[in-house]
Amino acid sequence: MINDVISHIDSNRDGYLSGLEAWLRIAGISTDPEAKPAIRDAALWAHRFFENCGIESEIVETQGHPAVIADTGPVDSDSPTVLIYGHYDVQPAGDLSLWKSGPFEPDIRDGRIYARGSADDKGQVLTHMLAMEAWKKVAGKLPMRVKFLVEGEEEIGSPNLGKILEDHKDRLACDYVCLSDTPKFSEDKPAITYGTKGMIYKEVTYTAQTQDLHSGAFGGTFPNPGNALADTISRMKDADHRVTLDGFYDDVVESMPEELASLETLPFDENAYRESVGAKALTGEAGRTTLQRRWLRPTLDVNGLLCGFTGEGAMTIIPAKAMAKVSMRLVPDQSAEKISASFDAFIAKHTPAGIDHQIKTFTLCEAYMCPLDNPGLQHAAAAVEAGFGEAPAFTREGGSLPILPLFKRVLGAESLMIGFSLPTCNLHGPNEFMVLDDFYKGIRTSAHLINQMAS
């Protein structure tokens, strides 16, 4: 049966492309209050797609933008249920002058389709929708139960996703969540991402005096919040680039030898990676490789500093205040709450006498990791290999996806992240694109995934 499904897919590429183009033309920018009608049109487009396939679908209202839930229905076998997650909302276009073709006028150049949302995420979630359509058309029904949750608020932080999951917990019950919102490893190599980092984002403000002081008249006699904050930040890491917050590494799960060995097999070019951002050196936690630092190890970074006089030239002041933005990326099983408290205690401990400190916490998100021996990952890998003709790289991400711990907590399901877009796809930037060949291979992969899981 799967061969017939794949043949059907391969012979319907033109129609698939038309569908993608139609959806990409709808400028459903979730950050833009004036885009509300477009947002609804984009949701309706998905809803009608499912209805046209004969898949039961509903537009679920939220306090913000609606989500689309669909369900292929129960099957007789004891095959698992998969919930495909995706989002139909998109980022703003940004500076239009930087786009070679209109962000909402899909344009095909060199085998790529350029448009906002082509990679993030319409083009990717549509692969799964089209695979289900193919299965329905060819086989009449699916060999396993597939559900869909396509939301419209991912680009604004999914503020209502938790409530959707709670309110529709039974409808959305599943054995696996599957999402395609991550990249391939490289042009040649698809990827399955099995872990993302957690994040804590803090803003620390030191206040010493009620006003900036003349550094001549007052220098050397009052606390300087700029020097003091530099001092405190400096203490956050040791000479080995290890974070010195109390208990920071206590709950870090050390990687199994298999995981470390698997990283070694990836065709990762350190020089190319370094040069891609115009950097002169790689650095990081002592005793770890670059990929380990990037994916397996927790980090701490200054994201911003502001203090005193920052204009042209010289102004001789002892600043009244100094501010730092500092973020930490966490790995399993670090607790975001616990590390956040440790950070706050560290600041309190190291702030010198005479300086008041204030801490704002902007983000508190746990890491996520799907156990490498999870059978879903094996099914996904087999499907990718069948769809792309190339075994996937197993990767983790340095970025954070708060929705994954949410799926785990509410639905009890692990997430399988199968990436079809390129790492260089200009996600959130001008000239976002999806390689058409990857789009078609993604549809095949999704069809294979159903076959794999149902067998």
Residue 81, both tokens = 């249920």
| Of residues 67, 203, 204, 179, the one with CA closest to residue 421 | 179
Q: If binding is defined by CB under 8 A, does position 10 make contact with a copy of itself?
A: no
Minimum Å gap between C-beta 323 and a copy of itself is 7
Q: If binding is defined by CB under 8 A, does position 234 make contact with a copy of itself?
A: yes
Q: If binding is defined by CB under 8 A, does position 215 make contact with a copy of itself?
A: yes
Q: If binding is defined by CB under 8 A, does position 235 make contact with a copy of itself?
A: yes
Q: If binding is defined by CB under 8 A, does position 151 make contact with a copy of itself?
A: no
| Of residues 421, 378, 401, the one with CA closest to residue 190 | 421
Q: If binding is defined by CB under 8 A, does position 362 make contact with a copy of itself?
A: yes
Minimum Å gap between C-beta 315 and a copy of itself is 6
φ, ψ at 10 (rounded to 5°): -65, -25
| Of residues 444, 407, 391, 428, the one with CA closest to residue 188 | 391
Half-sphere exposure of 403 (CA within 13 A, CB side): 25
Contact 125, 150 (CB under 8 A): yes
Minimum Å gap between C-beta 352 and a copy of itself is 7
Shorter beta-carbon distance to a copy of itself: residue 71 or 153: 153
Q: If binding is defined by CB under 8 A, does position 271 make contact with a copy of itself?
A: no
Pairing state of beta strands 414-419 and 176-179?
parallel
- Strand, coil or helix: 406: helix
Q: Of residues 406-425, which lie at the interface with a copy of itself (CB under 8 A)?
A: none
Q: Which residue has tokens 């994916």?
A: 295
| Of residues 282, 279, 285, 291, the one with CA closest to residue 239 | 285
Out of 30, 224, 351, 445, name the contact with a copy of itself by CB under 8 A. Answer: 224
Shorter beta-carbon distance to a copy of itself: residue 234 or 265: 234
The answer for residues whose C-beta is within 8 angstroms of residue 219's C-beta and 6 or more apart is 213, 318
Minimum Å gap between C-beta 290 and a copy of itself is 5
Q: Going residue by residue from 389 to 408, which x/- string records binding to a copy of itself, judged by CB under 8 A?
A: --------xxxx--------
Q: How many binding residues for a copy of itself (CB under 8 A)? A: 82
- Which stretch in 70-78, 111-119, 291-299, 369-377 sits in contact with a copy of itself by CB under 8 A? 291-299
Residue 43, both tokens = 């949701």
Out of 73, 216, 371, 412, name the contact with a copy of itself by CB under 8 A. Answer: 216
Q: Of residues 295-324, which lie at the interface with a copy of itself (CB under 8 A)?
A: 297-310, 313-319, 322-324
Shorter beta-carbon distance to a copy of itself: residue 225 or 387: 225
Bridge partner residues of 176 (DSSP): 82, 414
Contact 367, 197 (CB under 8 A): yes
Residue 218, both tokens = 């007052």
Out of 139, 186, 222, 251, name the contact with a copy of itself by CB under 8 A. Answer: 222
Distance CA 176, CA 411 (A): 9
Shorter beta-carbon distance to a copy of itself: residue 312 or 373: 312
Distance CA 186, CA 425 (A): 11
Q: If binding is defined by CB under 8 A, does position 221 make contact with a copy of itself?
A: yes
φ, ψ at 107 (rounded to 5°): -130, 135
Minimum Å gap between C-beta 313 and a copy of itself is 6
| Other Cβ atoms within 10 Å of 373 Cβ, number | 9
Out of 92, 352, 375, 430, name the contact with a copy of itself by CB under 8 A. Answer: 352
- Which stretch in 66-74, 75-83, 111-119, 195-203 sits in contact with a copy of itself by CB under 8 A? 195-203
Q: If binding is defined by CB under 8 A, does position 181 make contact with a copy of itself?
A: no
